[in-house]
A and B are shown apart, each in its own frame.
Chain A
Amino acid sequence: MEFLWCLVVGLMTACGVFLMLERHIVRFLFGMILVSNAINLAIFVAGRLTRGNPPLIASDALLPAAGYANPLPQALILTAIVIGFGLLLFTLLLAYRAIKELGTADMDKMQHAEAE
């Protein structure tokens, strides 16, 4: 079943990359969100998928039930989601500010910083 999700991740990444190549800065941002979602899923899939057995330990046991889901990628993704959120917020506001300052959402017209 992992292969299905390999396909989904690949398709989502492709859509995200395509959006990140567009001229509209907000669409670029959407591409970023899509790619970050896809990559989180990729890490998840790489750690193998397990149905209905979360990495929790019952209150009377010392070890999780056999066949428990891999906890390590989950911890990594949890961190990645929150960091990604912080960075997306920053990018969103940066884009907002760029549009307001430069009066355009066209990335190819945003050349203020490198104008000679």
Chain B
Amino acid sequence: MSSIIFRTSAHFVTVLMLVFSVYLLLRGHNNPGGGFIAGLIAVIAFALLMLAETTDYVRDRLIYPPAVFAGSGVLIALLAGLLPLFFGQPFLSGLWWGKIGSPLLFDIGIYLAVIGSVLMVLLNVEEELS
């Protein structure tokens, strides 16, 4: 698995996939894409990195444990839902300021929640089983 070509290219491909995932996340409201899809692509990007290097390497690059991403994702989505309450609108209604709105924030929350929870399992499985 860890030929030099694979290890070098993996870093490059991971970065590309992460950029692509953010692109899919941001365009998801108008074109195919969105938080789930983007999150899953990001997980696959990290999985590639994990196979090329080690789980500890991935954990270092993440800075925070994956559980933190999962938790803050849910919190961000919740926050996006609570925000309209301050403007006298029901829970989770969309608020828009030009092109940026609370549904986008909500999708970012979903994105982080998916990345965090799946990556958490992936890293733990790899560590436990090898």
Answer whether A54 and B125 are a contact pair too, CB < 8 Å, given A82-B114, A86-B117: no
Answer whether A78 and B36 are a contact pair too, CB < 8 Å, given A86-B117, A89-B121: yes
- A56 touches which one: B32, B36, B121 (CB < 8 A)? B32
Q: Which of A62-113 contact B (CB under 8 A)?
A: 78, 82, 85-86, 89, 93
Which residues of B pack against A, CB within 8 Å? Answer: 30-32, 36, 114, 117-118, 121, 125
Number of interface residues of A (CB under 8 A): 9
In the complex, A75→B124 CA distance in Å? 30
Give the shortest distance, in Å, between A70 (CB) and chain B (any CB).
Answer: 16
Give the shortest distance, in Å, between B38 (CB) and chain A (any CB).
Answer: 12
Q: Is A93 within 8 A of B36, CB to CB?
A: no
Which residues of A pack against B, CB within 8 Å? Answer: 54, 56, 59, 78, 82, 85-86, 89, 93
CB-CB < 8 A to A86: which residues of B?
A: 117-118
In the complex, A85→B114 CA distance in Å? 11
Q: Is A54 within 8 A of B32, CB to CB?
A: yes
CB-CB < 8 A to A59: which residues of B?
A: 30
CB-CB < 8 A to A78: which residues of B?
A: 36
Answer whether A93 and B121 are a contact pair too, CB < 8 Å, given A56-B31, A78-B36, A82-B36: yes
